[in-house]
Amino acid sequence: MLELLFLLLPIAAAYGWYMGRRNLRQNEQQQHKKLSHDYFTGLNFLLSNESDKAVDLFISMLDVDDDTIDTHLSLGSLFRKRGEVDRAIRIHQNLIARPHLPQDQQDLAMMELGKDYHAAGFYDRAEEIFLKLVSQDDHSEEAETLLIEIYQITKEWQKAIDVTRKLSRKRQQALKPILAHFYCELAEEHLDGDKKVKCLNLAIKQDELCGRALITLARWYHQQGQLRQCKQALLQLLNADVMLFTDALPLARDVYTSSNDNDGFYEVLLQATNKGAGATAVIALAQWLEEQGDLEHAEKLVLDTLYLHPTMKGFQHLMQIHLQQAEHGQAKQSLGLLAQLVEQQIKTRPSFRCRECGFPSHALYWHCPSCKNWGSITRIKGLDGE
């Protein structure tokens, strides 16, 4: 009898092991079936526009399987893109609250939650999250970019500058033109003249071709009666951004007239036209010649320019010259009427356009309202522009 029991023991152990494995497989199959069923149920809720029920179901499934975390990150991103930011926040907050979430997934969830707050306009909360992420040694460039973007929206220019200056040397080099605009924005906030000039000079140090800083500096020197410094800034602007110099022509005329430097103004206008400043600079030079009594030379200048670069502005000014020479009568009235019609047409056309997104404008914006690029709006060239 005892020998029989010893023979049955291995069989009993093997049977127990088999039944245990079988129960384990059955439990896994049931769990997998339940998981698949829950996902299909959640998808049906989404397709039926019952998003609340879908969110509740997907969140409850986190307690079932950690492998669904990536799915929930994607789901939260989808809700944010659809404008349902409150649901995205709910999903990402639930992920972060998990006690044993790996650090890399914790950071991903934090990044997504920061984006949620950013999209919802909760900039203080988004800033707090991105600051935590940026403080880590292995943080992503995306956190830095979003943090700078927040400071641009909230107009905290010094903070934007501080974050930018902490970036890698390569990224700093790429963002120097944008950093120059940050210094220009900071200069506009300063009432103290020394601090304003210091910020503008820092902008020029970041980007020698920053026309905004140069034209602002020229205007400031003009207000302070520092004509020599104003002329110097205008000449720098002429070499840095000849198209923007067009907007400084009235200032240049006033400065050179105030210092009785008529010939100097002529030389500046000549340089501007030779560098391709456009129709406005050519017209300014023609007007200067007209004031000197050289109407023939002024007409030839405008005609030659129209042959090479036809513009509505040049054509309108040519008609103005002919009106001065025309005799009184029906022909002069008709020419005057045509000149007025062309002038009205010029006024209805936008003078500026963003070279990045094509946004048209009648005024110069340093920050494009459409694509949010800095310094991308410039004067339009061609028949309707310069």
If one compares 256 and 342, the residue with the highest pLDDT of the two is 256
Q: In the prediction, which pLDDT does 15 show?
A: 47
Specify the pTM. 0.79
Q: Which domains does the chain have, with CATH numbers?
A: 69-95+103-174 (1.25.40.10), 298-348 (no CATH), 349-386 (2.20.28)
Cα distance between residue 366 and residue 350, in whole Å: 16
User: What share of the chain in percent tops pLDDT 70?
Assistant: 81
**Could you give the percent of the chain with pLDDT greater than 90?**
44
Average pLDDT over residues 64-81: 74
The two beta strands, 377-379 and 352-354, are: antiparallel
Amino acid at 260: N
Residue 64 reports pLDDT greater than 60: no
Task: Report yes or no: 285 and 317 within 8 Å, Cβ to Cβ.
Answer: no
Q: What is the mean pLDDT of residues 57-69?
A: 58
Residue 383 is predicted with a pLDDT of 84
- Is the predicted pLDDT of residue 371 greater than 70, yes or no? yes
pLDDT at 180: 96
Q: Tens digit of pLDDT for each residue in 300-347? A: 998 998 888 888 888 888 888 877 776 676 767 777 787 788 788 888
| Angstrom distances, CA of residue 275 to CA of 1, 109, 272 | 114, 53, 5
Beta strand spans in the chain (E): 352-354, 360-361, 377-379
| pLDDT band, very low/low/confident/very high, at 19 (cuts 50, 70, 90) | low
Residue type at position 206:
Q
| 57 — pLDDT class (breaks 50, 70, 90) | low
Give the whole-angstrom CA distance, residue 9 versus residue 207. 86
Indicate if the pLDDT at residue 259 is higher than 70.
yes
Locate 81 and state its tokens: 């893109």
For the chain, give the mean pLDDT: 83
Q: What are phi and psi of 379, to 5 degrees?
A: -65, 140
How does residue 282 score in pLDDT terms, banded at 50, 70 and 90?
very high
Separation CA 61–CA 72 (nearest Å): 10
What is the C-alpha to C-alpha distance for residues 127 and 115, in angstroms, rounded to an integer? Answer: 10
Q: Is the pLDDT reported for residue 33 higher than 60?
A: no
Determine the pLDDT at residue 38. 58
**Rounded distance between C-alpha atoms, residue 108 and residue 69, angstroms:** 10
Beta bridge partners, 360, equal: 353
For residues 299 and 287, what is the distance between their CA atoms, to the nearest angstrom? 10
**Is a pLDDT exceeding 70 seen at residue 27?**
no
- pLDDT value of position 35: 47
Which range is least confidently modeled, 71-75, 165-169, 191-195?
71-75
Query: Which of 75-79, 173-177, 181-185, 369-373 has the least mean pLDDT?
Result: 75-79
Alpha carbon 132 to chain centroid, angstroms: 24
> In this model, does residue 8 exceed pLDDT 50?
no
Matching residue, tokens 């902490």: 166
Flag whether pLDDT at 147 surpasses 80.
yes
